[in-house]
Amino acid sequence: MMKGIKKWRLFALMTTLLVFLAGCGREEISTLIPAGEVAQDQFNLLILSSIVMLFVIIVVSIIFVLAIVKFRRSKMGEDMIPEQVEGSARLEFLWTAVPIVLLLVLAVPTVYSTFDLADVSTMDVQAEDGTSTHLTVNVTAALYWWEFEYPEQGIVTAQELVVPTDERVYFNLISADIKHSFWIPSVGGKLDVNPENVNTFYLTFDQQSSELEDGVFYGKCAELCGPSHALMDFKVKSVDREEFDQWVTAMQEEEPAAVEGDLAQQGEELFGADGLACISCHATSGAGGTGGVGPNLATFGDRNRVAGYLEHNEESLKNWIEDPQEYKPGNLMPEAASLNDGEALSDQELDALAAYLMGLSVEE
Amino acid sequence: MDINQKYTPQSWPDHPETATMEGKNKFIGFWLLLAAETVTFASLFATYLALKDKGPSGMEFSAAGLFELPLVFAMTMILLTSSLTSVYAMYHMKNHNFKAMQAWLGITVLLGATFLGLEIYEFNHYVHLGFGFTNSAFSSAFYVLVGTHGAHVLFGLSWFIALMLRNAKRGLNMYNAPKFYLASLYWHFIDVVWVFIFTVVYLMGVIG
Amino acid sequence: MSSIAQKKGFGATIWDFMTTVDHKKIAILYLISGGFFFLVGGIEAMLIRIQLAKAGNDFLSAGTYNEIITMHGTTMIFLAAMPILLAFMNAIMPLQIGARDVAFPFLNSLGFWLFFFGGIFLNLSWFMGGAPDAGWTNYASLALASEGKGIDFYSLGLTISGFGTLIAGINFLVTIINMRAPGMTYMRMPLFTWTTFVASALILLAFPPLTVGLFFMVFDRMFDSNFFAVEMGGNTIIWEHLFWIFGHPEVYILILPAFGIFSEIFAIFSRKRLFGYTALVFATILIGFYGFMVWAHHMFTVGLGPTANAVFALATMIIAVPTGIKIFNWLLTIWGGNISFTVPMIYAVAFIPSFVAGGVTGVMQAIAPLDYQLHDSYFIVAHFHYVIVGGVVLAILAGTHLYWPKMFGTMLSEKLGKWTFWFFFIGFHLTFFIQHFLGLMGMPRRVYTFGADQGWDLFNAISSAGAVLMAIGIIILLVNVVMTTIKNERVGNDPWGDGRTLEWAIPSPPPFYNFAQTPLVRGLDTFWIEKMEGNKKGMIFAEPLGDIHMPNNSFIPFVISLGMFIASFGALYFLDDDKPWALPVLIIGLLITFGSMLVRSLKDDLGFHITKAELLEDAKGGKTDGH
Ligand code: HEM
Ligand SMILES: [Cu+2]
Ligand SMILES: [Cu+2]
């Protein structure tokens, strides 16, 4: 009997530990491993409120356990009629006042933080030369992908956001169709992407994403937006300012680097207006404009994922091109065959497209 | 309660609408219903204010340009008067004067119908200008707010008419007195809502 | 079912229930249909958890998954939880205040049938081209973009059943205001009656905004109006406001009656008067009042601006105070009592820690900046299941055991009841506790699948396992119901032995006129007072035995609702060119509805009287039926 209990205890301990270890999640996406000032503030509020709430739970639990242990009928006797107490004004006062005090403890940082996190007044501050001192990114959410425009830099990218570390980055959010929500859990809380108005907030990225196991932070759509809502992921690369500036310069290059290799060249042709006309929806230059029907593919070769969530290799890419509906139900990209007069693409053509797209890169 | 019991103005209670348990229940229940109606109209008003003058880019209509006060003012007066005539009707109901009550209710109905006719004319006029239901968010909000009120007027009229016809032969008793009373209460409510519509939609609309 | 009913043929019983205006029979109707929808919603829940049991599962397709979560939420809130609570309100509240029926028996029946047909209509969407798929919150931009008729089923179905609920709310309010027995002052009303009162007031004021929003939705989708059409100047945030101005009070519509049930249970099974009755009453009223001022805490991330967010954050936190007051008063009620751990009491006791856990996460979410992280993540899913399952569903299960004898005259098995409890309770915490962490680990809500590379696999598997335990618990409950009904061991007036309020002073189930003589109430817990003073009858009477006036049964409520049901199909299809029959169907439906309303208002229905002789006969043991 004793032994059984001991074993059970050990088991309980082990499971608790396991839960706690696994309980923090992955650093790419967990709010419990904050990687930016905003997420850190929010994490601190989480800890503060958890402590206050734990206090409440402990008080309730003690009274609760004592009550149900002490006053069971088996102890009190079948026929015992308890005194019919009406109540106590003093106790009522106590359990009104104490919670109010506890709430005040929470209320002050809540109000402070609410205003602090909404403060975008420095967004438009300009340096001497007329450029703004902070980076602003215009985010457009569309069924089921993300476009990131850097207006000041005149560049556009999609699906993978690139940002400098250790400074405030401002975001303007607008939806191209229906409501979505922009969320990078380990860097900061979400903000809705509404169709009718631009929402603005800021985040800071305190850690370079190259230090992460997967090399990127994970971003999510956090508002139900249709069948593929679950797959409307994006990735975030945070790099130091210098690297960021290099990336911007490379993106600003109007002419994409010449395509190397026969296969890739064939792919380029297929991609072009005389081939399958993929280009009518997808731009391939980072210096292009916004508002494309499909994501800009200028940095496709540098990406961490295909379509925001599939592994980044030619296999997934070819699968995607052949049948986008299979991988993101309800998305707006036509299947390859319909662009090819109803005929499926040959393996060779798919290889060519894949080679071409994988070669699109602005990083060394 | 005995429906066949005959009353004289002397034996008729001061407040026939709440003299029976049924009457009391109906009286309170109806006020509660009006509370729900109030929330309904509040939601419609809030929506209207949020969508006022909102439309596709380049929309040609605005409240200031569209609404004309004279007609609406006349409608307001007519409806206010009908509220007054329904008060007279209830005065006679409480005095157990069935004929007079019916007469005043008849006038109320006529005034209400005139109001409704003018409203239909007004809507028709806007539609001809191109300001149809589907023109813009503004037009949808306008028609649904004012139209819901219009539907209430229609319902109120039908209610009065049904009561007058049903009881034309047998006169007042404790069973139908609360019904007349509630119908007129409803009519007052409709009137109050219209005062708000007149102020919020038309006056504030024209003033800008 | 009552012994009277059993003596009739099956068809006659059905007819009796279709035409009944007796609050106790309507309660049974609510319980059966609410229970049915609860099972439907439960099956949907199981499908959700199967799909999410492992990463990348393809048990359900993305589109189907969205339909299932939408219908799960909608069904559970509108068609299961609320109707079952309405069942208890109907069955018990009039008895608690010493009334012979509700204020408007006819409307009571109408309210039920509207709810019922609305619910059926909504669920028929599964078989008629697809269920709604924009979430139970049905946010406008997604709802407008949704193809097929699912969203229209949602709007029309909820409009109809919403009218039913509104009618029920008004009815209960008037009943409590007007029909209390002599001596039953407001501050002597049992807490379940009080919570029914406040919840009904919330229904009255919260449902109209929803109805208005649903109408906009119908107009936008079917008649090309532009309330939510952004390019035409519309605004989708209006829907969010209207929905949550309804939605937040709605959660209190659910939890307050649950609080009421638990308040009764704590007092009965501790054999002690409720501690701080006055405080409990005022806390109930305060909660109801504040319930209308916090809706935007569901919209912290919408971008309403820091001022709005801060104000709504503070307002939300304040609600925790009256909620806390309730918890402590319950604890002090059992403190010093003589606790008997019957099945209802076990549920009540288990409710306290479960609900406190849900309440504290609520306060955490009220911290707006923190909510930017928590909102629309699995943390929210955990929160509202802690309050709704840990609060409302536990109350429903407790109430089922507590009031079963009063409604049906037999006792559910305590032994099976305990089995149900343990399976359900353990399964519940297993399923939902861990979801807090999933949310914190970055898992968004309403995702049909998740990748294996995000560290969420284990917890999701655990959560699904818990759901299986809950399902087993419910199956045992069904077995319990069947066995109890077959055994049919009749019980007396006060089967729990420690009843305190009027409903326990009369037979189980009560005669259809409830009280042969209206009782005179001498204090809070009036039955307890009489018992303690040795009054064998359990009541003293406010009137001599005499004739009782009762309302007639009526088939009209059923027909009115049926008309609306038929008309809805017409409305659903009449813009489709290939369905010329739709317009006639719409018109026929409306004619049936308005026609039967007209019949109702033109035809006098004065009810009938039970004579004193019949009552005396009845008291001797013979049963009058009154027909
Ligand atoms: C102390 C009391 C409570 C507080 C402070 C509280 C607070 C909150 C807050 C702030 C949210 C919004 C979370 C978000 O989406 O970001 C929320 C969501 C929710 N709460 Fe509570 N809550 C409390 C009690 C309850 C109760 C009693 C119920 C129901 C019986 C309930 C049901 C819900 C539901 C259903 C949602 C989510 C709705 C949805 O998004 O679908 N809550 N609560
Ligand atoms: Cu989404
Ligand atoms: Cu809420």
ipTM over 0.90: yes
A197-242 residue pLDDT tens = 999 999 999 999 999 999 999 999 999 999 999 999 999 999 999 9
Q: How many CA atoms lie within 13 A of A10 on its CB side?
A: 6
Backbone angles phi and psi of A239, in degrees to 5? -130, 165
State how many domains chain C has. 1
- Minimum CA–CA partner of A29 in chain C: C442
Distance CA C97, CA C272 (A): 20
Q: Residue A7 above 80 pLDDT? A: no
Distance CA C226, CA B138 (A): 8
C524-555 residue pLDDT tens = 999 999 999 998 888 999 999 999 999 999 99
Looking at residue C627, its pLDDT comes to: 38
Q: Of C465, C492, C346, nearest to C411 (Cα)? A: C492
Q: C140-160 burial, b if ≥16 CB within 10 A, otherwise e?
A: bbbbbbbebbbbbbbbbbbbb
Q: Residue C180 above 90 pLDDT? A: yes
- Helix (H) or strand (E) run with residue B43 in it: helix B21-51
DSSP A126: B
- Minimum CA–CA partner of B144 in chain C: C216
Q: B68-106 burial, b if ≥16 CB within 10 A, otherwise e?
A: eeeebeebbebbebbbebbebbbebbbebbbeebbebbe
In percent, the amount of chain A with pLDDT more than 90 equals 64
Degrees, nearest 5: CA angle A5-A7-A11: 115
Distance CA B48, CA B139 (A): 9
Distance CA A49, CA A65 (A): 24
Distance A232 CA to ligand 2 centre (A): 6
Q: Of A108, A115, A136, nearest to A124 (Cα)? A: A136
Residues in contact with B179: Cβ distance below 8 Å, sequence separation at least 6, in sequence order: B26, B163
C428 exposed, middle or buried (CB, 10 Å; 0-12, 13-18, 19+)? Answer: buried
Specify the residue with its C-alpha closest to ligand 1, atom 37. C384
Asked which of C266-270, C393-397, C567-571, C577-581 is least confident by mean pLDDT, the reply is C577-581
Looking at residue A117, its pLDDT comes to: 93
What is the rounded average pLDDT of the residues A330-339? 89
Specify the residue with its C-alpha closest to ligand 1, atom 2. C359
**Partners of C215 in beta bridges:** none
Where do the CATH 2.60.40.420 domains begin and end in chain A? 26-76+88-121+134-252, 262-358
* Measured torsion, CA atoms of residues A157, A163, A164, A168, in degrees rounded to the nearest 10: 130
What is the rounded average pLDDT of the residues C34-52? 97
Distance C305 CA to ligand 3 centre (A): 18
pLDDT band at C1 (very low <50, low <70, confident <90, very high): very low
Degrees, nearest 5: CA angle B87-B89-B94: 95
Locate B6 and state its tokens: 């005959």
* Residues C420/C347, Cβ–Cβ less than 8 Å: no
Residues in contact with C463: Cβ distance below 8 Å, sequence separation at least 6, in sequence order: C49, C52, C430, C431, C432, C434, C435, C438
Q: Residue B126: how many CB atoms within 10 A of its CB? A: 18
Distance CA C146, CA C132 (A): 8
Q: Say if ligand 1 is within 6 A of residue C542 CB.
A: no
Q: Say if ligand 1 is within 6 A of residue C309 CB.
A: no
C209 contacts B56? CB cut-off 8 A: no
Distance CA A268, CA A279 (A): 10
B71 contacts chain C (CB < 8 A) = no
Compare CB distances from C212 to B44, B134, B175 and report the shortest one's residue: B44
In percent, the amount of chain C with pLDDT more than 70 equals 98
* Residues C336/A71, Cβ–Cβ less than 8 Å: yes
**Partners of A135 in beta bridges:** A169
Please name the amino acid found at residue B45. Answer: F
Distance CA A36, CA A30 (A): 12
The whole-angstrom distance between C245's CA and the closest CA on chain A is 19
C407-438 residue pLDDT tens = 999 999 999 999 999 999 999 999 999 999 99
Inter-CA distances, C588 with C223, C582, C592, Å: 20, 10, 6
Distance CA A141, CA A145 (A): 6
Asked if residue C626 belongs to a domain, the reply is no
Looking at residue C625, its pLDDT comes to: 44
Query: For residue C179, which residues of chain B lie inside 8 Å, CB to CB?
Result: 25
Q: Residue A21 above 60 pLDDT? A: no
Q: Of C234, C251, C563, nearest to C380 (Cα)? A: C251
Three-state DSSP at C270 gives helix
The residue segments making up the domain with residue C393 are: 25-554+605-619
Distance CA C176, CA C184 (A): 10
Q: Residue C624 above 60 pLDDT? A: no
Distance CA C490, CA A79 (A): 24
Asked if residue C17 belongs to a domain, the reply is no
Looking at residue B1, its pLDDT comes to: 56
Q: Residue C5 above 50 pLDDT? A: no
What is the rounded average pLDDT of the residues A17-32? 75
B71-81 residue pLDDT tens = 999 999 999 99
Neighbours of A, requiring at least 3 CB pairs below 8 Å, are C
DSSP A132: B
Pocket probe mutation, ligand 1, options C139, C383, C392, max atoms within 8 Å of Cβ: C383
DSSP A196: S
* Residues C513/C610, Cβ–Cβ less than 8 Å: yes
C469-501 residue pLDDT tens = 999 999 999 999 999 999 999 999 999 999 999
Sign of CA dihedral A51, A53, A56, A61: negative
C372 contacts A189? CB cut-off 8 A: yes
Looking at residue B122, its pLDDT comes to: 95
Q: Residue A120 above 50 pLDDT? A: yes
Asked which of A274-283, B185-194, C74-83 is least confident by mean pLDDT, the reply is A274-283
pTM for the full predicted model: 0.94
What is the rounded average pLDDT of the residues A177-187? 96
Q: Which residue has the tokens 């229609």?
A: B154
Sign of CA dihedral C434, C436, C440, C443: positive
Looking at residue A259, its pLDDT comes to: 76
Q: Which CATH class is domain A262-358?
A: mainly beta
DSSP C393: I
Q: Is the peptide bond before A164 cis (omega within 30 degrees of 0)?
A: no
In the predicted model, what is the mean pLDDT of chain C? 93
- Minimum CA–CA partner of C168 in chain B: B29
Distance CA C328, CA C306 (A): 34
C102 exposed, middle or buried (CB, 10 Å; 0-12, 13-18, 19+)? Answer: buried
The CATH fold of domain B17-52+63-206: Four Helix Bundle (Hemerythrin (Met), subunit A) (1.20.120)
Q: Of C295, C296, C356, nearest to C320 (Cα)? A: C356
Helix-strand-coil split of chain B, %, nearest 5: 75, 0, 25
Crossing angle of the two packed helices C82-96 and C237-270, in degrees rounded to 10 = 50
**Partners of A160 in beta bridges:** A235
Which atom of ligand 1 has the smallest separation from the CA of C300? 16
B3 contacts C238? CB cut-off 8 A: no
Query: For residue B175, which residues of chain C lie inside 8 Å, CB to CB?
Result: 604, 606
The CATH fold of domain A26-76+88-121+134-252: Immunoglobulin-like (2.60.40)
C369 contacts A189? CB cut-off 8 A: yes
In percent, the amount of chain B with pLDDT more than 90 equals 74
| CATH number of the domain residue C41 falls in | 1.20.210.10
C583-593 residue pLDDT tens = 999 999 999 99
B137 contacts C227? CB cut-off 8 A: yes
Q: Say if ligand 1 is within 6 A of residue C361 CB.
A: no
* Residues C591/C577, Cβ–Cβ less than 8 Å: no
Asked if residue C589 belongs to a domain, the reply is no
**What is the longest distance spanned by two Cα atoms in chain B?**
68
What is the rounded average pLDDT of the residues B184-201? 96
